[in-house]
Amino acid sequence: MGHGHSHGSHGVVEIGQRARTYLLGLLALFGVLAVAGLIWLWPSAAEMDGALTKITEAPGVTYEDATIATLVDGCESTIETPSGKAACITVTFDVTSGLDEGQQATMELTGANVHSGLRVGDDIEVVRVDTGDGIHYSFNGVNRLPVLITLAVLFVVAVLAVARLRGLMALVGLGVAAWILLGFMLPAIIAGKPGMAVALAGSTAIMFIVLYVAHGVSIRTSAALAGTLLGLAVTTALGAVAVQAARLSGFADENEYDLAQLAPAINFQDLLMVGIIIGGLGVLNDVTITQASAVWELRAAAPQWTRMKVFAAGMRIGRDHIASTIYTIVFAYAGSALTVLLMLYFISREPSSLFTMEMFAGEGVRTFASAIGLILSVPITTGIAAMTVGPAKVLAEGPRHGDDPEPAPEPTEA
């Protein structure tokens, strides 16, 4: 069997031609299916217009920019909280846009807005309502764009400073992935296209672009990509079975009910599956790239090892990675559902019975399906990478000081 070559950090890694052919054939099949899915499922402008119910504002309602001039604890009817702090504050603000630009007005804030840490000089957005008896204002939100832009710039600077060209390529891949998500996947779901097909086609396209752009076109990256896609297939299949078996509707809170009124074509069971598939992409990518790189480095450092020995060593690395990544998945979902988890302490029913509720069961299915797909992607990717590298080689020279004195095994063919 012939062999190709790939350069690792410690030297040249031979590549098994037969395994490479199978790998590239598999990826070509996935790629063709993904492109066909994008063409078939991409929603037209007419489909989007028919599926969307635009939210329109009432006559006389506009959104204006303003700057806080003063903050005073208490309102005309002040309510004290148990901590003694005012549950209402009076805000005086200068209007900086619209018909009332340059004028000053006041409004009262209650509830969560009292605890948001508003300060004099903050840029805010207010709702201006022109009624028959005058102009009324209400608080709509804080202008958070400066903070978000600053964090985004710091993120880009950190990526470029540490990862340099590789980081730049990762940012390019991230931009393309965002375009596919926002330009194809979400519109297709709104238009009522089959959710799982949309998620698989879009996710496959994203992984092809992200992995090859960020990590370069190579057999090592291809092995990681194949492991990612197969792990994604496991996650999808398991999630689909679990969603049906658990009789999940996809309606966990009021957001789903609101969305159903605006986009009645959405299948919310499919939407739940799309969330499971997209949620597993990032972690799968991390694990598979690490495993493929580990196998390549092991083969470069120990060309005398059999593929089975390389696989076993790669799995030892993978087990450590699984242990740490499982924590990442669970804590990420726990953090996103922290408010829901806190409600467990205020309900008189047994906690175990609450996990049958949709809001808890949905998160459980999402977490376990992603975690199982992640776990199985480790041996899948490690196996693909181990089969792709060339067979063991007999070292021409004897073992050097500090090397394993074990005699090199005989070469084996894939």
Tens-digit pLDDT profile for residues 349-378: 676 666 777 777 887 888 888 888 889 999
Most confident of 29-38, 75-84, 266-275: 29-38
The tokens describing 303, both together, are: 């060309």
The one-character DSSP state at 71 is: E
CB-based contact 208:232 (threshold 8 Å): no
Question: How many percent of the chain have pLDDT more than 70?
Answer: 86
Residues 139, 113: contact at Cβ < 8 Å? yes
Lowest mean pLDDT among 10-24, 136-150, 295-309: 10-24
> In Å, what is the CA distance from 69 to each residue of 118, 148, 157, 175?
11, 23, 35, 39
Amino acid, single-letter form, for residue 253: D
pLDDT at 2: 45
**In the predicted structure, residue 404 carries a pLDDT above the cut 70:** no
Contacting residues for 364 by C-beta, under 8 A, at least 6 apart: 355
Q: pTM here? A: 0.76
Residues 6+ apart with CB under 8 A from 258: none
Dist CA 49 CA 126 (whole Å): 30
Give me the helix-helix angle, 268-301 and 254-262, nearest 10°.
110
Interatomic CA distance for residues 371 and 333, integer angstroms: 11
Domains of the chain with bracketed CATH: 13-43+158-392 (1.20.1640), 61-142 (2.40.50)
- CA distances (Å), 125 to each of 57, 88, 161, 320, in order? 16, 19, 36, 48
Window from 74-78, 167-171, 397-401 with minimum mean pLDDT: 397-401
* Phi, then psi, of 406 in degrees rounded to 5: -60, 130
pLDDT at 222: 93
Task: Determine the distance from the C-alpha atom of residue 177 to the mean position of all C-alpha atoms in its chain, rounded to a whole number.
Answer: 10
As a whole number of angstroms, the distance between CA 230 and CA 18 comes to 20
**Diameter of the chain measured on Cα atoms:** 97
pLDDT value at residue 67: 92
* Average pLDDT score, the chain: 82
Cα separation, 343 vs 346, whole angstroms: 5
Strand order, beta sheet including 104-110:
104-110, 88-95, 61-73, 123-131, 134-142
**Residues near 257 by beta carbon (within 8 Å), at least 6 away in sequence:** 251
64 HSE (CA, 13 A, CB side):
27
Q: How far is CA 175 from its chain centroid? A: 13
On the question of pLDDT at 409 being above 70, the answer is: no
Cα–Cα distance, 311 to 270 (Å, whole number) = 37
Residue 152 burial (10 A CB sphere; 0-12, 13-18, 19+): exposed
DSSP secondary structure letters along 160-204: HHHHHHHHHHHHHHHHHHHHHIIIIIHHHHHTT--HHHHHHHHHH
DSSP state of 346: G
Total Cβ atoms within 10 A of residue 10: 14
Contact assessment for residue 19 and residue 387, using Cβ atoms and an 8 Å cutoff: yes
pLDDT band at 202 (very low <50, low <70, confident <90, very high): very high
pLDDT value at position 30?
94
Tokens at 109, concatenated: 């804030």
Give me the residue label for tokens 């078939």: 40
Q: How confident is the model at residue 85 (pLDDT cuts 50, 70, 90)?
A: low
Closest by Cα among 293, 251, 295, 301 to 271: 251
Q: How large is the average pLDDT for residues 15-34?
A: 89
Q: How would you class 171 by CB atoms within 10 Å of its CB: exposed for 0-12, middle for 13-18, buried for 19 or more?
A: middle
Mean pLDDT of 370-391: 88
Q: Look up residue 385 and give its two tokens.
A: 């990478």
H-state helical runs in 246-306: 254-262, 268-301
N residues, the chain: 414
Structure tokens at 116: 């948001």
Structure letter (DSSP) for residue 104: E
